[in-house]
Structure 1
Amino acid sequence: MPTLYIDGDACPVKAETIRIAERHNLIVFLVSNSGMRTGTNPNVKNIMVSDGADAADDWIAEHIEAGDIAITADIPLAARCLEKSAQVLGPTGRAFTPENIGSALASRELNQHLRETGIMTGGNAQFSKADRSRFMNQLEQAIRKPA
């Protein structure tokens, strides 16, 4: 069974991930720059890393293994996890794959450039109930996916 790694600082689906992991008796690493409440389940490990832009990402990328599942909206971290043959889900249920990670990285770079030049000023779309539901369905599928 896979181990789950949550990029925790800005993840809107921590509780859902932990609840699904508990049903499957999976180990979860909740990795963040600050301590978070994880409840009393001994399978949920709260990993607090040093302050730093990529400290949580680095910890996850160093520890994740083939077949594990990362939960992150961070596209460069998703690419690093895919390189180690892990599955990666964004909090909206979007699966990052070897086939789509290149275009996701390119879109990220383009959007960053457009924001820096002032051409694009809006942020991400609001997180919705449909996003949460899609995520939970995708996580269930990822857990049940044969290795």
Structure 2
Amino acid sequence: MNPIRIVVDADACPVKEEIYRVAYRLEVPVTIVSNAYLRVPQHPLISRIVVDGGFDAADDWIAAHVDAASVVVTADILLADRCLKADAGAVIGPNGRPFTTSSIGNAVAVRAIMSDLRAGGDRVGGQPPFGKEDRSRFLSALDEAVTRLQRLRRG
């Protein structure tokens, strides 16, 4: 049985410090995955994967390496969908919103519609600014996801 771990789509992740805090407190390893070198704390629980290759190389690595013991942190809806299909234990956006098998279809559809509107020249609003409430909601969601997986694994 694989140990619980947090896997982070890290290139544009605004909550890395919060992830480290949860990891240290709950003693859960973290894998930071990025397309470019990022500084990470020198700590036995933190590892870094820098992928070579194309646009989706980090996403491809993450989707290929997650399992039921993985809590994935990503803002990428398509990656969230791939991780859920790979049976990730949990997938959470940096704003604390969990992606679930029941919500991902709608999220993918809305993303496609917004992309089509932008491609057609329409001005559509983006995400609201990232704030304190988002960080707080994320901390709570990550803590809850890791704790839930730990309880499930203990039986």
Shorter-chain-normalised TM-score: which range? over 0.9
- Secondary structure at the residue paired with 2:47? strand
CA distance in 2, matches of 1:33, 1:24: 27
Native 8 Å contact 2:94 2:135 kept in 1: yes
CA distance in 1, matches of 2:134, 2:53: 29
The counterpart of 1:107, out of the listed 101, 106, 110, is 110
Give the number of equivalent residue pairs: 147
CA distance in 2, matches of 1:110, 1:95: 21
User: Structure 2, unaligned stretches of length 5 or more?
Assistant: none
Structure 2-normalised TM-score? 0.90
CA distance in 2, matches of 1:3, 1:62: 15
CA distance in 2, matches of 1:50, 1:125: 31
Native 8 Å contact 1:111 1:120 kept in 2: no
RMSD value, Cα: 1.1
Give 1:45's aligned amino acid.
S
Native 8 Å contact 2:66 2:87 kept in 1: no
How many Å apart are 1:121 and its aligned residue? 4.0
Superposed CA deviations along residues 86-113 of structure 1, whole A, max 9, x for unmatched, are 1100000000000000000000000101
Q: Does 1:142 align with 2:145?
A: yes
- Secondary structure at the residue paired with 2:95? coil
Give 1:18's aligned amino acid.
Y
Native 8 Å contact 1:6 1:72 kept in 2: yes
How many Å apart are 1:13 and its aligned residue? 0.4
The counterpart of 1:94, out of the listed 92, 97, 100, is 97
Native 8 Å contact 1:7 1:72 kept in 2: yes
The counterpart of 2:136, out of the listed 104, 108, 133, is 133
Give 1:142's aligned amino acid.
A
Q: Does 1:80 align with 2:55?
A: no
- Secondary structure at the residue paired with 1:30? strand
- Secondary structure at the residue paired with 1:16? helix
The counterpart of 1:52, out of the listed 44, 51, 54, is 54
CA distance in 2, matches of 1:116, 1:20: 39
